[in-house]
């Protein structure tokens, strides 16, 4: 919608003339639409109002799909696909992808730091904490840019029109991270330890420092090979700041799923979250809108599916646009029945090997196959076995499987969701044109979906909602990564076993070598932090490290996970057969390209470099 600026100016002038002609009244003393700077910075309470309104920065780190659609964590269509495909199809150009311009946000942060410091109405003790909060927010804004483009335009004061505005970008990612780390260290030193939901404290800053330091290490010497030394001080910073967070009274959540839904939004594991109330939040303004299907009994009948939904009205009326891929699902391990000290992929357990015949011919009436798809693994339960595909994929499985994913025969919102052939929410309903907003993968996300929605899942339903931004489990995993880079396998395994055992209810990893530990760690991080805006950035870090972090490849090489083809699993109605297929599923989902000559960083928007050459040179390969 265009705004008529001339009309607005005319009305403003007319209003000014009108009020100047009136007799003196309260209307003459204070403008309706603004508060003076002097008032804002005159006391702590007013300054905090400005600070709170700057926290929008933190949505860059919020839970939800975010960058997961760049990877095979989740398989998308429509808007989710359209936002991610230019990245994983390698179709970005030098004017897209970087989000380099954060300068209005930085101005707000610098106003906090400068104006609070100059205030005569704020006590010195309060100034110290508020300035630290401004530095934390400035670091968060710059980190969001740095992990995309590597370089930033560092501004540490409030610019005026007379200042030289043709400022340079930092010379390299290392220079960027040094500045960000300094701000975060100042924040750790001066922020209070007090825990207030939705507001940063010293532990929040320390938790982010553990990850920023890992990113800084990964991008040393970029675009040349990373320089990763076991004695690098950045690794010591990761461990030291992780210990600060651990000392802060946080505790791993025993019920993993609860901290992402309405059950326990104020979990003692959460270090920082974003909290919204139903008074100004609807389903459509949360990630749930694109995670829940649009299904009713009329469509189930058309699909010849079952069971019918128990509710007489349509309770699922959202617009799902992404769901877990089978690639993702396969990383949720299952406890082996023959040796319960081991957890294995579901199709490598002793119970699977005993129960499934992978050579059996499966009739097309039991398992369908869409055009253009290729079956890469099939199996049928052997005659006489008491197992089913459901038992093999659910019994003894990582507890985060049921907490994060709605799969075939999941009980959800008072309904039984079935995603096998002729179910009530399977992908064939979409393929056959009976419905549209159904998952491409026969799987739906449960993580981050509230189950207290009333009266139903529809865009206009008011709801509380929260986003998890930082938590203790993530800090333990960052600590594990630091120990791996130090070559301390024992301590690394101990750290990632914290989440594996507490969240996953799995037997502890027994990894004894660096290669084994990296394999288990990478899986653990993927599972524990899915839909928390982590996996894509972690893959880039690991690719930059090279070695055991990326399958023995040199630093900066291809990242296999970013070139895998998506897979989907179909299950027969009787749960006796399955087929895993590769295909496009929607548009070009099956084109997965990672150009390692350029995509370890996104480009700096070329139009900005054209306007100010000091932002250059352009990132390599762009």
Query: Among 529, 521, 502, 472, which Cα is nearest to 243's?
Result: 472
If you average pLDDT over residues 228-254, what whole number do you get? 98
Is residue 8 very low, low, confident or very high in pLDDT (cuts 50, 70, 90)? very low
Domains of the chain (ranges, CATH numbers): 5-73+99-227 (1.25.40.390), 314-454 (no CATH)
Is residue 17 very low, low, confident or very high in pLDDT (cuts 50, 70, 90)? very low
| Structure-block tokens of residue 16 | 């000014």
CB 263 within 8 A of CB 450: no
How many residues are listed for the chain in this entry?
A: 622
For the chain, give the mean pLDDT: 94
How far lies 476's CA from each of 88, 104, 239, 251, 510, in Å? 29, 34, 9, 11, 17
pLDDT for res 233:
98
pLDDT for res 98:
73
pLDDT for res 99:
86
The DSSP call for residue 70 is G
pLDDT for res 31:
54
CA-CA distance, 168 to 272, in Å (whole number)? 33
Is residue 13 very low, low, confident or very high in pLDDT (cuts 50, 70, 90)? very low
CA-CA distance, 315 to 413, in Å (whole number)? 9
Is residue 227 very low, low, confident or very high in pLDDT (cuts 50, 70, 90)? confident
Which ranges in 191-261 belong to alpha helices (H)?
202-218, 233-246
What is the tens place of the pLDDT at every residue in 389-407? 999 999 999 999 999 999 9
CA-CA distance, 273 to 381, in Å (whole number)? 45
If you average pLDDT over residues 193-202, what whole number do you get? 98
| Structure-block tokens of residue 239 | 């461990």
If you average pLDDT over residues 422-437, what whole number do you get? 98
pLDDT for res 585:
98
pLDDT for res 15:
34
Q: Are strands 316-317 and 457-458 parallel, antiparallel or unpaired?
A: parallel
If you average pLDDT over residues 563-590, what whole number do you get? 98
Is residue 253 very low, low, confident or very high in pLDDT (cuts 50, 70, 90)? very high
Q: Answer yes or no: is pLDDT of 411 > 70.
A: yes
């Amino acid at each position: 919608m265009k705004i008529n600026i001339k009309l607005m100016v005319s009305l403003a002038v007319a209003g000014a003339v009108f009020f100047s002609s009136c007799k003196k009244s309260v209307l003459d003393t204070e403008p309706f639409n603004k508060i003076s700077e002097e008032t804002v910075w005159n006391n702590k309470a007013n300054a905090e109002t400005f600070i709170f309104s700057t926290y929008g920065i933190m949505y860059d780190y919020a839970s939800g799909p975010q960058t997961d659609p760049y990877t095979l964590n989740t398989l998308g269509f429509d808007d989710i696909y359209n936002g991610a495909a230019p990245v994983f199809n390698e179709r970005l150009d030098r004017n897209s992808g970087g989000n380099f311009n954060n300068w209005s946000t930085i101005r707000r942060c610098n106003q906090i730091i400068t104006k609070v410091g100059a205030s005569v109405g704020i006590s010195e003790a309060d100034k110290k904490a508020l300035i630290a909060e401004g530095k934390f927010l400035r670091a968060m804004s710059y980190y969001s840019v740095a992990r995309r483009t590597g370089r930033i335009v560092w501004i540490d004061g409030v610019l005026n029109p007379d200042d030289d505005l043709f400022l340079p970008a930092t010379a390299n990612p290392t220079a960027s991270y040094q500045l960000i780390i300094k701000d975060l260290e100042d924040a750790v030193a001066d922020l209070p330890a007090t825990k207030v939901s939705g507001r940063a404290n010293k532990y929040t800053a320390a938790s982010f420092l553990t990850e920023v330091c890992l990113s800084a290490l990964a991008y040393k010497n970029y675009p040349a090979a990373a320089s990763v030394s076991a004695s690098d001080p950045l690794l010591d910073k990761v461990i030291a700041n992780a210990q600060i967070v651990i000392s802060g009274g946080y505790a791993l959540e025993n019920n993993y799923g609860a901290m992402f839904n309405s059950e326990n939004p104020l979990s003692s594991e959460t270090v920082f979250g974003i909290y919204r109330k139903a008074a100004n939040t609807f389903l459509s303004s949360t990630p749930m809108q694109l995670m829940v299907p649009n299904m009713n009994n009329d469509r189930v009948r058309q699909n010849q599916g079952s069971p019918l939904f128990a509710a007489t009205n349509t309770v699922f009326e959202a617009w799902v646009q992404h769901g877990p891929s089978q690639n993702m699902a396969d990383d949720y391990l299952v406890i082996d029945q023959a040796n319960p000290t081991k957890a294995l992929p579901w199709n490598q357990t002793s119970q699977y090997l005993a129960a499934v015949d992978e050579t059996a011919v499966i009739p097309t009436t039991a398992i369908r196959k869409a055009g253009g798809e290729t079956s890469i693994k099939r199996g049928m339960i052997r005659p006489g076995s008491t197992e089913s595909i459901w038992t093999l994929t659910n019994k003894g499985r990582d507890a985060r499987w049921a907490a994060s994913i709605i799969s075939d025969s999941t009980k959800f919102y008072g309904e039984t969701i079935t995603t096998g052939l002729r179910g009530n929410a399977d992908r064939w309903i979409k393929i056959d044109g009976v419905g549209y907003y159904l998952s491409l993968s026969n799987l739906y996300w449960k993580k981050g979906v509230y189950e207290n929605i009333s009266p139903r899942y529809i865009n206009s339903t008011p709801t509380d909602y929260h986003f998890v931004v930082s938590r203790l489990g993530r800090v333990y995993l960052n600590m594990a990564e630091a120990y791996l880079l130090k070559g301390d396998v024992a301590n690394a395994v101990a750290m990632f076993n914290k989440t594996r055992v507490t969240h996953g209810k799995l037997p502890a990893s027994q990894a004894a070598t660096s290669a084994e530990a990296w394999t288990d760690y990478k899986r653990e991080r993927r599972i524990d932090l899915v839909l928390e805006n982590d996996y894509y950035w972690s893959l880039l870090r690991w690719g930059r490290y090279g070695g055991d972090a990326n399958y023995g490849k040199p630093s900066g090489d291809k990242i296999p996970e970013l070139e895998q083809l998506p897979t989907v699993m179909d299950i027969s109605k009787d749960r006796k057969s399955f087929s895993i297929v590769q295909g496009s599923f929607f548009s070009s989902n099956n084109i997965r390209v990672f150009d390692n000559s350029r995509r370890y960083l996104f480009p700096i928007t070329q139009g900005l470099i054209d306007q100010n050459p000091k932002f250059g040179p352009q990132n390599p390969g762009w």
